[in-house]
Amino acid sequence: MRSVYWENDSLKMIDQRRLPSALEIVTYHEPRAVAGAIRDMVVRGAPAIGAAAAFGLALAAGGNAFSSRDELLRGLKEAAGVLRAARPTAVNLGWALDRMLARASAAQGSVPELAQAVLAEAQGIADEDVQINKRMAEIGAALIDDGDTVIHHCNTGALATVDWGTALGVIHTACEQGKHVHVLVDETRPRLQGARLTAWELEQYHIPYEIISDNMAGHFLQTGQVQKVFFGADRVAANGDLANKIGTYMLALAACDNDVPVHAVVPTSTVDLSIQDGSQIPIEERSQDEVLGLAFQGEPIAPAGARARNPAFDITPAHLITSIVTEKGVVSPPFEIHLREALSR
Amino acid sequence: MRSVYWENDSLKMIDQRRLPSALEIVTYHEPRAVAGAIRDMVVRGAPAIGAAAAFGLALAAGGNAFSSRDELLRGLKEAAGVLRAARPTAVNLGWALDRMLARASAAQGSVPELAQAVLAEAQGIADEDVQINKRMAEIGAALIDDGDTVIHHCNTGALATVDWGTALGVIHTACEQGKHVHVLVDETRPRLQGARLTAWELEQYHIPYEIISDNMAGHFLQTGQVQKVFFGADRVAANGDLANKIGTYMLALAACDNDVPVHAVVPTSTVDLSIQDGSQIPIEERSQDEVLGLAFQGEPIAPAGARARNPAFDITPAHLITSIVTEKGVVSPPFEIHLREALSR
């Protein structure tokens, strides 16, 4: 089962806000609702929101009775603008939309034929994502040794992609190869994607894990209990700096301080060569309710009227990263040179 | 109002598990119940549990009809054993108990006179704690500049001590001196002492603050939004390595990576010269329920059957610490030399 898929002329997605309590599928018929789902994190994970946005354009193309090719293209551009504005950090969103618009512009034929081509492109993005993830997982699994304990941040599994996942896909494939891997799952405050989603996936795969608070990673690294650190990314700059879920920077820093290798696993669609370094990546700040809306032993975690900050991503500088695993191979430093090389393969 | 105090022949303490929802005072009549309160974190914070344990021995001395001095001393030793076993990491617990036992051994007179001397010693420890904190706060406030934004980890305020606090006491005094300070409050998973207790104290003091998830500290440090980092400690080794609430190590590392000064604020009773470095400090691991027992938007944060780890402290190596503020002055590196010098003043 995919986390994002097309069925009966509509987009279906797992509602990731309900997991692990309930596995619910939500159906979308028009692009504005898809943009809302991306913003509200019904769907999250850079590759998954790319695919969702692509299908959002397929809904735009198919749902309206456009009378001409130009009208259809205008409608797609407008829908792409709405979808693009949903979240700023993950480059896969813009990447998928640009690819969809280019395909639409290049397509010939009648309005229904164009709409068909747009849907086929969205389906292609989704199918490719699964293939790319499987390929990355094969490549990355070689970095994991039998008996490793790894720390994993956020969720990068089947839920964060169309299927299989990026960093969690690597761990999953290593386990399928017969390697024994123990995962320390960063709970990943504030939205707890680690505790809610990664732990749920690992339960399905029967991979042993323990949840830790994000601030515990340093202790386990410092006491020699961890051999590797794995995470995905939402955007990788040309120099290898990367934006990923908040907390990644402190995790990478602690790994580096203890000489533990740090592996980022990303499809090349997450690499943004138009951006030189991490300082240019926009960091989304989300509602303080995500930080404050917890209950601890049945009580609110903060006094009434408390304020909170909520940057959703941070920048991990390239010098803390051991390798960037892509579908084109394992990219090593200096990333300025090797990322460009990998992308041109 | 003190967080730990003696009234009507009994020990009274604020129940810190109930804040910020309710301010409740719990009354204790015998030492085993005090040990339970320390274990269950009704009272927490190294200086506060030291004072609570001292009053626990006063309860042991006063509550039993001992027929001789020797019987009383045996009773105190037994009670001290129970209290000492409540939590392993904070040295103030053992420090207060040793001081109480030494005072009892040295005291002359009848059994009631001895019991009176023991209570007076406990009261002395509590009163001194407040004086020491006020002195540390005066000394440490000089490290804060008008306009500073500081990150503060866990709770080190009036609640963590008998009154006023250690690191938070420094911030409080700086604000009373008219300096404008903005506090980024680490929520401090898993028990959320920052969000629950520090935010509650800052509300009382009208000091501006914002709560952040622990894993956000790196982002604020990296983007130049923070001028200083403050925390307390549960035990400082002779070389300046220190044990403090889990997450302190990663915070100090991120501060250091961005050349932001890191100040630990501790009474000298928290310094343990009998321990050479941090590797010898015992780290308590607590129940996984503290990590898993959260609700996010009304739902459990982890799948049924999930496991978690819960080390309650970590070790921050001395080289990440800019200064250790004590009641005997600001101690700078090399701590091996300067801590001993300060303690002998």
User: CB–CB of B21 and A299 under 8 A?
Assistant: yes
The nearest CA of chain A is from the CA of B288 a distance in Å of 9
Question: What residues of B are in contact with residue A251 (Cβ under 8 Å)?
Answer: 215, 250
Q: What's the mean pLDDT when you consider all of chain A?
A: 97
Say how far apart CA A292 and CA A303 lie, in whole Å. Answer: 9
Say how far apart CA B259 and CA B167 lie, in whole Å. Answer: 20
Q: What's the mean pLDDT when you consider all of chain B?
A: 97
pLDDT in tens, A86-145: 999 999 999 999 999 999 999 999 999 999 999 999 999 999 999 999 999 999 999 999
To test the contact with chain A by mutation, choose from B183, B262, B296, B319 the residue with the greatest count of A C-beta atoms within 10 A, namely B296
Chain B, 48 to 77: residues with Cβ < 8 Å from chain A are none
pLDDT bin (cut points 50, 70, 90) of residue A298 is confident
| Residue B202 CA to its chain's centroid (Å) | 17
Residue A234 known to be catalytic: yes
Based on its alpha-carbon atoms, the radius of gyration of chain A, rounded to whole angstroms, reads: 20
Write down the pLDDT at residue B185: 98
* Percent of chain A whose predicted confidence (pLDDT) is above 70: 100
DSSP letter, residue B145? P
Residue B42 touches partner A, C-beta closer than 8 Å: no
pLDDT at B245 over 90: yes
pLDDT at A297 over 90: no
DSSP letter, residue B9? T
The nearest CA of chain A is from the CA of B208 a distance in Å of 9
Alpha-carbon separation of residue A111 from A10, A69, B87 (angstroms): 18, 6, 73
Question: What residues of B are in contact with residue A297 (Cβ under 8 Å)?
Answer: 17, 293
Residues comprising chain B, all counted: 345
User: CB–CB of B215 and A214 under 8 A?
Assistant: yes
Give the ipTM of the model, two decimals please: 0.96
User: CB–CB of B20 and A303 under 8 A?
Assistant: yes
Mean pLDDT of B188-217: 98
pLDDT in tens, A55-82: 999 999 998 789 999 999 999 999 999 9
Extract the tokens encoding A189.
Answer: 């405050």
User: CB–CB of B211 and A297 under 8 A?
Assistant: no
User: CB–CB of B247 and A203 under 8 A?
Assistant: no
Q: Is B115 helix (H, G, I), strand (E, B) or coil?
A: helix
Q: Using CB atoms, pick whichever of A218, A291, A295 lies closest to residue B213.
A: A291
B227-261 core/surface letters (b: 16 or more CB in 10 A; e: else): bbbbbbbbbbbbbbbbbbbbbbbbbbbbbbbeebe
To test the contact with chain B by mutation, choose from A213, A242, A258, A277 the residue with the greatest count of B C-beta atoms within 10 A, namely A213
Residue B21 touches partner A, C-beta closer than 8 Å: yes
Kindly report the three-state secondary structure assignment for every residue of A189-221: CCCCHHHHHHHHHHHHHCCCEEEECHHHHHHHH
Write down the pLDDT at residue B34: 98
Q: Using CB atoms, pick whichever of A21, A189, A190 lies closest to residue B300.
A: A21
> CA dihedral in degrees (B216, B218, B219, B222; nearest 10)?
160
Mean pLDDT of A153-164: 98
* Percent of chain B whose predicted confidence (pLDDT) is above 70: 100
pLDDT in tens, A11-52: 999 999 999 999 999 999 999 999 999 999 999 999 999 999
CB under 8 Å to A193, separation ≥6 — which residues?
A44, A154, A155, A245
The nearest CA of chain A is from the CA of B76 a distance in Å of 35
Beta strands in chain A (DSSP E): 4-7, 10-14, 25-28, 149-152, 182-186, 209-212, 228-231, 235-237, 242-245, 262-265, 271-272, 294-296, 299-300, 313-316, 323-326, 329-331
Mean pLDDT of B57-64: 92
Q: Are the C-beta atoms of A279 and B219 separated by less than 8 Å?
A: no
The nearest CA of chain B is from the CA of A85 a distance in Å of 23
Q: Which residue of A has its CA nearest to B17?
A: A297
Question: What residues of B are in contact with residue A188 (Cβ under 8 Å)?
Answer: 215
Based on its alpha-carbon atoms, the radius of gyration of chain B, rounded to whole angstroms, reads: 20
The reported pTM is 0.97
Q: Are the C-beta atoms of B184 and A279 separated by less than 8 Å?
A: no
A188 conformational bin, left if phi > 0, alpha if psi -120 to 50, beta if neither: left
Q: Are the C-beta atoms of A313 and A284 separated by less than 8 Å?
A: yes
Centre a 10 Å sphere on the Cβ of residue B136 and count the other Cβ atoms it contains: 28
With 0-12 CB in 10 A as exposed, 13-18 as middle and 19+ as buried, what is B8? Answer: exposed
pLDDT in tens, A196-242: 999 999 999 999 999 999 999 999 999 999 999 999 999 999 999 99
Write down the pLDDT at residue A213: 98
pLDDT in tens, B181-199: 999 999 999 999 999 999 9
Q: Is A242 helix (H, G, I), strand (E, B) or coil?
A: strand
Q: Which residue of A has its CA nearest to B214?
A: A215
Mean pLDDT of A280-285: 96
Extract the tokens encoding A67.
Answer: 């009378």
pLDDT bin (cut points 50, 70, 90) of residue B310 is very high
Say how far apart CA A98 and CA B75 lie, in whole Å. Answer: 78
pLDDT in tens, B90-121: 999 999 999 999 999 999 999 999 999 999 99
Closest CA to A162 of A59, A87, A92: A92
Residue A8 touches partner B, C-beta closer than 8 Å: no
What is the number of CB-based contacts under 8 A between chain A and chain B? Answer: 195
Write down the pLDDT at residue B305: 93
